Structure 1
Amino acid sequence: MRLPEAFVAKMKKLLDEEADEFFAVYENEKINGLRVNPLKTDPGAWVKTAPFSLSPVPFCPTGFYYEPDEQPGKHPYHAAGLYYIQEPSAMAAAEALQPEPGDTVLDLCAAPGGKTTQLGAMMKNRGLLVANEIHPKRVKALAENVERFGLTNTIVVNEAPETLAERFPGFFDKILVDAPCSGEGMFRKEEEAASFWSPAYVEECAARQRRILESAYAMLKEGGILVYSTCTFSPEENEQTMEWLLETYDDLRLLPIAKIGGIEPGRPEWTKTNRSDLVHAARLWPHRLKGEGHFVAKLQKQRPTPPWSGRWAKANAPKAAVRLYRQFEQQSLQTVQHGTILSFGSHLAMLPDRCPDLSGLKVVRAGLHLGEAKKERFEPNHALALALRADEAKHVLDLSSDSRECLQYWRGETLSTGGDRGWLLVTVDGFPFGWGKEVKGTVKNFYPKGLRLI
């Protein structure tokens, strides 16, 4: 592929004797990966029976490489949320943050949702995960990926970082800033990224990253962890941005990231002050491991911050609408959903525990979208289906992933069963796939129109 001349000259100067090895990577095919969803299946057991040839990503326990001729994105398992297609080196950032169940976590630049879904799975759907994306078009894909992965503890919002910083000072235990960048690690994957690149664009990205980091710092608790990552090689956006951050906020300290599976240290020599602690950061080079490239740094805030003094969310759903949902739950589910229920028009959502007041924010998805109250009936949402296990539904229609019926359902067609059980959880090889309503031997299809197989 043709690389920008200024980029080639810059990387030759930076990498010196390594440069030939680095540029040779661009003659090869891009690396493909997926991350198995531990909320839905055991990754180690599932890969043994997976319909693809998979090999482990050494720095991510749920990550696997797949072969270029395979298409896991077109399998019904992908639609059921069993895995997320993700460039392997991008998996390192969430692994560095290591959120735990019960944490309060922010993914500040979250679209399309690869790292959000990884964080949510690591949290086991416990605690609060706020996933923010400033761009309205990109936030839709983020919300869809959160839904497909079965995340119930996640609030998806469409705000500027500074707006959130005003609302949530000192609120989060852990924050991920996967910053918008010049995308040098995307050149092999997306050639248009190479055509868009310029030295001026690198400087523009570095300035934007620093503004985002100012907001992130303001939202972090004392003792909280901040992980910063990019998919670019530029020192201006990586080590030099971390140098600026550490000089601006002198209470921050860099924490070491494990250098496993080919991960290398940061490069202090590429900064103005040659900060030795930048070796704690991580460089994922495409000529040193199987991946397109990433930079990751992990920092801890030590300055005392006042406790957050904002308001918490309160239930506001009409009693009649909640009654309709509880009737559906009693008739169709083996489990009871506990939590604060909010109404968005006729739609109901169940919030995660200890969720802040969301009024005034552009909320795209609030926790678990239960469904819609319609006159005297309740229609469950697709998100509820994907958040359940098969044994949590009273009535299940299981389809084989390689069957004609599975394709029919995925296309939005009706199915014939001979039963009359009402709402059914449709599953594929035992994994929840969507809703159907069985009436007089026919299953009406409730698979969302925008997600259907064309």
Structure 2
Amino acid sequence: MLPDSFISSMRTQLGSETDAFLKALEEEPQVSIRTNTKTAIDTHSLTPVPWHPHGYYLDSRPSFTLDPLFHAGCYYVQEASSMFLYQILQQYVKKDSVILDLCAAPGGKSTLISEYIGEDGLLVSNEVVRQRAFILSENIQKWGNENTVVTYNQPKDIAERLPGSFDCVLVDAPCSGEGMFRKDPQSIEEWSGQNVKMCAERQRDILRCAWKTLHCGGVLIYSTCTYNACEDEENAQWIIRELGGELLPVAYGKTWGIKETTGLHFYPHRTKGEGFYIVAFRKNYTETSKSPFISKKDKERKPKEPTAFQKQAAEWLIAPERWSIVEDDRFLQACPLRYEQQVQILHKLLICISAGFGVGEVRGRNLFPQHSLAMAKHFRKDALPSAELSLQQALSYLRCESLSIPDIPTGAVCMTYKGEPIGFVKNIGSHCNNLYPKEWRIRKQIDC
């Protein structure tokens, strides 16, 4: 049951629309996905999300856990309203930008940003809670874009160590979660007016840090999944008043049902999606602190002669000349060559969970592919032997069960489902050792 004080505040906010809003909260939430450009998902029967070119509504919620294509990163289950971030990126952020997603887990907006910037930009995707940072890293790796560094740091530490370093910063702030009421009844029980005020204060602390990391001319995007003015419009006005942010106008379709205030509101009785608020600002004053990031136009460096394992790893990649392959202990990691020095700086200054993608692991005298290689968009699929699995076999693989697959060569073999890589096995003849990451395995009971 909704708190009386929440209903009262919504009546003040929405007036005559309140009853329609409250009725919408009693309806089933919308289910939506965003497809990955690394594959071709059949979407002809789906209804498009109007503000994102790869967003679609589903008629019902299937069991995503039991779809191998979900684990292959072919699509991301993302709330439709939050996909509007794409519109602001398209209007104000260049694709060769260095972007910080400061409160990134579980990764929906980070995967959207990484898709937008593609091979031209670099994304630092940060999470302050360690366990959530590993979930973030998993989702980033499954999505397969190699342009992302996942970090685990407090906002104040990033502000101190990387001042004036980013072209764009997204703060999708921890909030009171009013926009999730119909999806998550637990959020109703946790809601209170006092919690709203606490969230607003914490959001301002985060925003101060985010502002410091922006360089002059950079764009700050602030969003919440809540409705109240304390966390939304009042914080937006605070950014203008206290930080000197220039409010940026955002174009949107007039048929989309969005309500414009100081920022844009998504309400479930107006749009097909959950509650969401988003607003953008430009930082215009001159930055006094110098970014530790060097210019993107790096000085020419004499390349080192690659090791035998680095040469072998390069053969597994599309356009290997674009990648810097670093051999660290027994692991080989690849990151975009044009951002090699920035990635090195991030490793020195921040706690990095993952950077780019893992290509291989040295075991004795041999190099074996890492799981993230199978997910990567630049994995050259014909570089290693593969075996197509049935649905039952694919689910067994994703549960980290041992497999017996006839007529495949010994050594590393890529497992595919409907032509999409889902990971590797090591065929030793009598059976296949399952190389799927155990911490990612399906734990749900499966009836096939």
TM-score (norm 1): 0.87
Q: Does 1:377 align with 2:366?
A: yes
Which residue of 1 is the match for residue 323 of structure 2? Answer: 339
Which residue of 1 is the match for residue 332 of structure 2? Answer: 348
What is the deviation of 1:198?
A: 0.6
CA distance in 1, matches of 2:231, 2:372: 37
**Secondary structure of 2:323's match?**
coil
CA distance in 2, matches of 1:56, 1:34: 10
Q: Does 1:34 align with 2:33?
A: yes
What is the deviation of 1:140?
A: 1.3
Q: Of the candidates 131, 138, 156, which is equivalent to residue 132 of structure 2? A: 138
Q: 1:259 to 1:290 in 2, by over 3 A?
A: same
Q: Is the CA contact 1:91–1:115 (under 8 Å) kept in the aligned structure 2?
A: yes
Q: Deviations over 1:95-116 (max 9, x none)?
A: 3223443211111110010000
Q: Does 1:324 align with 2:316?
A: no
Q: Deviations over 1:128-171 (max 9, x none)?
A: 10001111121111111001000211011111111111111111
What is the deviation of 1:431?
A: 1.4
Which residue of 2 is the match for residue 437 of structure 1? Answer: 426
Matched letter for residue 175 of structure 1: V
Which residue of 1 is the match for residue 66 of structure 2? Answer: 74
Q: Does 1:169 align with 2:163?
A: yes
What is the deviation of 1:453?
A: 3.2
CA distance in 1, matches of 2:289, 2:420: 42
Q: Of the candidates 380, 398, 406, which is equivalent to residue 410 of structure 1? A: 398
Q: What are structure 1's unaligned runs of at least 5 residues?
A: 268-277
Matched letter for residue 178 of structure 1: D
**Secondary structure of 1:144's match?**
helix
Q: Percent same amino acid at aligned positions?
A: 34
Q: Is the CA contact 1:171–1:307 (under 8 Å) kept in the aligned structure 2?
A: no
Matched letter for residue 4 of structure 1: P
Q: Of the candidates 271, 276, 282, which is equivalent to residue 264 of structure 2? A: 282
Matched letter for residue 226 of structure 1: L
CA distance in 2, matches of 1:250, 1:441: 67
Which residue of 2 is the match for residue 274 of structure 1? Answer: none
Q: 1:145 to 1:323 in 2, by over 3 A?
A: same
Q: Is the CA contact 2:310–2:325 (under 8 Å) kept in the aligned structure 1?
A: no
Q: Is the CA contact 1:424–1:437 (under 8 Å) kept in the aligned structure 2?
A: yes
Q: Is the CA contact 1:231–1:293 (under 8 Å) kept in the aligned structure 2?
A: yes
CA distance in 2, matches of 1:83, 1:5: 39
Q: Deviations over 1:211-238 (max 9, x none)?
A: 1111111111222111111000010111
Matched letter for residue 242 of structure 1: A
Q: Deviations over 1:336-377 (max 9, x none)?
A: 364334455533322333224121421111111223223322
Q: Deviations over 1:194-253 (max 9, x none)?
A: 111111111111111111111111111222111111000010111110001101133523
Q: 1:212 to 1:309 in 2, by over 3 A?
A: closer
CA distance in 1, matches of 2:388, 2:94: 35
**Secondary structure of 2:202's match?**
helix
Q: Deviations over 1:423-444 (max 9, x none)?
A: 2222211212111233447543
Q: 1:333 to 1:211 in 2, by over 3 A?
A: closer
Which residue of 2 is the match for residue 293 of structure 1? Answer: 275
Which residue of 1 is the match for residue 446 of structure 2? Answer: none
More deviation, 147-156/11-20: 11-20
Q: Is the CA contact 2:25–2:268 (under 8 Å) kept in the aligned structure 1?
A: no
Q: 1:450 to 1:66 in 2, by over 3 A?
A: same
More deviation, 358-367/304-313: 304-313
CA distance in 2, matches of 1:261, 1:446: 48
CA distance in 2, matches of 1:15, 1:147: 41
CA distance in 1, matches of 2:171, 2:136: 15
CA distance in 1, matches of 2:438, 2:305: 28
Q: Is the CA contact 1:159–1:362 (under 8 Å) kept in the aligned structure 2?
A: yes
Which residue of 1 is the match for residue 382 of structure 2? Answer: 393
What is the deviation of 1:73?
A: 4.1
Q: Is the CA contact 1:97–1:227 (under 8 Å) kept in the aligned structure 2?
A: no
- How many equivalent residue pairs? 428
Which residue of 2 is the match for residue 19 of structure 1? Answer: 18
Which residue of 1 is the match for residue 81 of structure 2? Answer: 89
Q: Is the CA contact 1:285–1:291 (under 8 Å) kept in the aligned structure 2?
A: yes
Q: Deviations over 1:283-310 (max 9, x none)?
A: 1111101111100101112112258442
Q: Is the CA contact 1:107–1:175 (under 8 Å) kept in the aligned structure 2?
A: yes
Q: Is the CA contact 2:318–2:379 (under 8 Å) kept in the aligned structure 1?
A: no
**Secondary structure of 1:292's match?**
coil
CA distance in 2, matches of 1:158, 1:214: 18
CA RMSD of superposed structures (Å): 2.6
Q: 1:431 to 1:261 in 2, by over 3 A?
A: farther
Q: Deviations over 1:165-206 (max 9, x none)?
A: 111111111111111111000111111111111111111111
**Secondary structure of 1:195's match?**
helix
CA distance in 1, matches of 2:385, 2:289: 47
Which residue of 1 is the match for residue 48 of structure 2? Answer: 56
Which residue of 1 is the match for residue 7 of structure 2? Answer: 8
CA distance in 1, matches of 2:135, 2:349: 22
What is the deviation of 1:87?
A: 1.2
Which residue of 2 is the match for residue 103 of structure 1? Answer: 97
